Amino acid sequence: MNLEFRTGIGYDSHRLAEGRKLILGGVEIPFEKGLAGHSDADIVLHALTDALLGAAALGDIGEHFPPSEDRWRDADSRLFLEHARSLLQADGYEIVNADIVVLIQRPKLLPYRDQIRRNIASALGIEADRVGLKAKTAEGVGPVGAEQTAEAHAVATICREVQPR
Ligand code: MG
C-alpha cells in the first residue's frame, strides 16, 4: 500500500457588525462587535471546513450547507467541520494537520489561540499539535484594518492508503 497525501485550501470573510457575537474557531471572544452571517459566521471554521473538503475534492461548504436553508440559521459551525470530517473518514482519509491564518485588526487573539487550537483538534479528533493558528492585523489598512471585516485562510493536509499505481 502507498500513502497518498492531499492538501486543500480554504478562505472565508464575514462583515464585523454590532450586536453579534465574535466566535472564532468555536470560541466566543469578548469584543464590541461580532461577525455577521447566516450561521454563527465563524470564519475560522468555515475556511478550515473548505480546506478539508477541498483536499478531498468534495466540493465546498456552500454546497453542503446552503445559506438559503433556514436550518443553518445561527448554526454552530462546528457542525460543518464535523460533517467534513465524517465525509473524509467515509473516503478513508485521516487528517494530518491544519494551519490557519486569521486577519483581524482587533481584538488580539493570542490569549485565545491555544483554546481555539484545542477546540478545533477535538472537533477533528486529532492532537492539538496538528493544528496551527496565527492571527495578524492589517496594520490599519483596507477593510480589515478599518474593522469592517475579518478574514481567515486555512490549509489542511489529509492522507489515505491507496493501491500502488
Ligand atoms: Mg462563511
Ligand 1 geometric centre to CA of 160 (Å): 28
Ligand 1 geometric centre to CA of 94 (Å): 24
Ligand 1 geometric centre to CA of 113 (Å): 20
Nearest residue to 26 via CA among 73, 78, 61, 65: 78
pLDDT in tens, 128-143: 999 999 999 999 999 9
CATH of domain 2-162: 3.30.1330.50
pTM equals 0.96
Ligand 1 geometric centre to CA of 43 (Å): 5
pLDDT in tens, 26-75: 999 999 999 999 889 999 999 999 999 999 999 999 898 887 788 777 78
Calculate helix-pair angle for 113-124, 43-55, nearest 10 degrees.
Answer: 40
Q: What is the Cα–Cα distance from 81 to 126, expressed in whole angstroms? A: 13
Ligand 1 geometric centre to CA of 84 (Å): 15
Q: What is the Cα–Cα distance from 124 to 116, expressed in whole angstroms? A: 12
